[in-house]
Structure 1
Amino acid sequence: MHVRHLSFRLLQVYVEVVRCASVSAAARALHLTQPTVSLQLKRLAEAVGEPLFDASAARMEPTLAGRELYKAACDVLDRFDDFAGFLERARDGHAGHVRICVVTTAQYVLPRLLGPFAAHYPNVEVRLSVANRARVLERFDKREDDLYLFSHPPSGPSVRSARMLKNPLQLIAPLGHWAAGLAGLPFARLAGERFLMREPGSATRMMFEAWLSGRGLGLEKSMEIESNEAIRLSVASGLGLSVISAHTLQEGRERLAVLDVDGFPLESNWYLVAPRDRRLPYAARELVRFIGQHAADCIEAEWIYPDIGQVAEDFIKGG
């Protein structure tokens, strides 16, 4: 590879094309013409000396060499972004940017931390994305963000993960449901009810189905709804029962009953996740440290583990 033929612009163009899986979409995002982007890709492929995209694929899929180049390009660009942030911090105090992507249930809690963090670090730009678990996993695979918050994180040597907050799952019903107010109810008595479920791949659904399987239980009727808000409203309207994050339940205005069922609430947690093969930018490190030090000031104590401060420091160090 002729390294001297590479430039930051070539790497920026390539990263955008991989993320968009489209030359035209990347051109729009970069405010360039499509022929310009195509020419940049050609120059980059010539410099590398290997095909960067699989010509036989229906959409733009990087080859093995292309995937490795993508990782290297992300690392290089992030390193220099971090350096630029360091220079700004040296001149103006804390600065830089942090990109964080969270699953939909975490959208009810994380802003409570980001608001005070932004007030404490006014020169740090925070970019927050909210998506379902499948989309967050896709963003993690593409290294589109610095930090991720999962209730069922990915695993493997490329994953840096730490338990940060409690996320118990409650079984809810309409206020007038026959089981409301009963204590120690066996789940088998509810198996014939209609259960409202999130989409396949949802961490809440995965945990509930694993819990059922582990006890040899099953559901007779279920209905898929791809929104926590719609699930709350549907349960309140008498459409069925559901298992839902206590945080999601807390933020709703609907009048619902939390059933006292053996085995509930299901114990679940939110995990902070980052790619282990990439250096954690300065601003991201400061956000993790801030969460560890100030979570108790922003979130109810019942959701916070006593060791969150040490967990945060270990995460920063890569443990």
Structure 2
Amino acid sequence: MHITLRQLQVFRAIATLGQVQLAARQLYLSQPATSMALSELEKHLNGQLFDRTGNRLILNAEGKKLLPLACELLDRSEEISRLFNHSDHHSGKLTIGASTTVGNYLLPEELTRFENANPEITVALDIHNTTTIIEKLASLEIDLACVEGPCQHPGIETIPWREDHLILFCSSEHPLAKRKTVTIESLEQTEWILREPGSGTRMLFELHIGQHLRQRHLKMELNQTEAIKSVVRSGIGISCLSELCIAKELAQGELVPLPFPKKTMKRQLWLLLNKKKYRSGLVNLLLKSLQN
């Protein structure tokens, strides 16, 4: 059996992108050459690695067994190349997944600092809600994840990172803005603009606030923080977001915090790694940078 690194590169690209055409474009290969590499790999392994559905290729059970091993071999081969290029500079590409709040309001500054210190490393940032990012990490589509929601996936290692907390807020013109204290009863009578189910922010809201409301007037569910802020600024309803997201608007007086006399809605931010994925030198370098 003779399996080449090129065949494994093709396999990984197709597994990630789901199409031969997209994999060929990513690897700068022709589509026939990409198809041939996959065919030869499957011939060597004496079985198919994907289920064909239309023009999509979806990993089957055999493909899922191979993917972490293929990723490790490719990552290790890149480590060997870096080890013997006799350069003090790290180079390569990392793909980071981040939940919405972390990805939009915390990571940009962190990644700018990292890339300034390591100009030959390219970082791609993929932003979705916490549930989607965990799924992407589990399927080896990303190297590392930074999220605000809890992760119970058995195949993922969780590393405590930083603390954040949520606050209730409204526009300065909202009827609740002048209250000295906000009760559960008043929260039950107002309209809410909330993040979508599956987001870490929504999970924490439900834990600390939502489960205590006997009734809830849910006006909108939005998957973009900026959209939520715009709606609330217009005077429609109240919301609950990370203070990271609305610090500027609070400072300018466009939004005001609601004095809800419950315990602070703290949450842990997490760094996530796939236990099956080889932790390359580049990943370790980024981890060290984020933890400093």
Q: Residue 159 of structure 1 aligns with which residue? A: 156
Q: Residue 277 of structure 2 aligns with which residue? A: 278
Q: Residue 98 of structure 1 aligns with which residue? A: 94
Q: Could you tell me which runs of 5 or more consecutive residues in structure 1 were left unpaired when the two chains were aligned.
A: 294-319
Q: Which moved more, 1:52-61 or 1:170-179?
A: 52-61
Q: Distance in 2 between matches of 1:227 and 1:56?
A: 32
Q: Distance in 2 between matches of 1:34 and 1:116?
A: 38
Structure 1 residues 284-313: Cα deviation after superposition (integer angstroms, max 9, x where no partner): 2222223333xxxxxxxxxxxxxxxxxxxx
SS across alignment from 1:91: coil
Q: Does 1:74 align with 2:71?
A: yes
Q: Distance in 2 between matches of 1:254 and 1:65?
A: 57
Q: Which moved more, 1:123-132 or 1:97-106?
A: 123-132
> Does the CA-based 8 Å contact 1:232-1:254 persist in structure 2?
no
Q: What amino acid is the match of 2:101?
A: T
Q: Which moved more, 1:134-143 or 1:190-199?
A: 134-143
Q: Residue 236 of structure 2 aligns with which residue? A: 239
Q: Distance in 1 between matches of 2:158 and 2:175?
A: 41
Q: Which moved more, 1:21-30 or 1:210-219?
A: 210-219
Q: Residue 260 of structure 1 aligns with which residue? A: 259
**Gap change, CA 1:219 and 1:260, over 3 Å in 2:** same
Q: Which moved more, 1:245-254 or 1:71-80?
A: 245-254
Which one has the bigger strand percentage? 2
1:47-126 equivalence runs, <5 A: 47-55=44-52, 59-88=56-85, 90-106=86-102, 107-126=104-123
Instruction: Using the aligned pairs only, state the percent identity.
Output: 27
SS across alignment from 1:127: strand
Structure 1 residues 234-272: Cα deviation after superposition (integer angstroms, max 9, x where no partner): 101011111111101114467101101132642112101
Q: Distance in 1 between matches of 2:121 and 2:221?
A: 39
Q: Distance in 1 between matches of 2:253 and 2:27?
A: 44
SS across alignment from 2:84: helix
Q: Which moved more, 1:8-17 or 1:174-183?
A: 174-183
Deviation, 1:181, is: 4.0
Q: Which moved more, 1:78-87 or 1:219-228?
A: 78-87
Select the residue among 131, 136, 143 that pairs with 2:128: 131
Q: What amino acid is the match of 1:245?
A: S
SS across alignment from 2:287: helix
Q: Which moved more, 1:40-49 or 1:284-293?
A: 284-293
**Gap change, CA 1:94 and 1:50, over 3 Å in 2:** closer
Deviation, 1:195, is: 0.7
Structure 1 residues 113-144: Cα deviation after superposition (integer angstroms, max 9, x where no partner): 22333333334333333233344223212212
Q: Residue 206 of structure 1 aligns with which residue? A: 203
The root-mean-square deviation of aligned C-alpha atoms, in Å, is 2.3
Q: Residue 194 of structure 1 aligns with which residue? A: 191
Q: What amino acid is the match of 1:92?
A: D
Q: Residue 169 of structure 1 aligns with which residue? A: 166
**Gap change, CA 1:42 and 1:111, over 3 Å in 2:** same
Q: Which moved more, 1:153-162 or 1:39-48?
A: 153-162
Q: What amino acid is the match of 1:162?
A: I
Q: Distance in 1 between matches of 2:28 and 2:121?
A: 25
Q: What amino acid is the match of 2:269?
A: W
> Does the CA-based 8 Å contact 2:168-2:238 persist in structure 1?
yes
Q: Could you tell me which runs of 5 or more consecutive residues in structure 2 were left unpaired when the two chains were aligned.
A: none
Count of equivalent residues: 289
Deviation, 1:191, is: 1.2
Q: Distance in 1 between matches of 2:74 and 2:35?
A: 20
Q: Distance in 2 between matches of 1:289 and 1:29?
A: 29
Q: Residue 147 of structure 2 aligns with which residue? A: 150
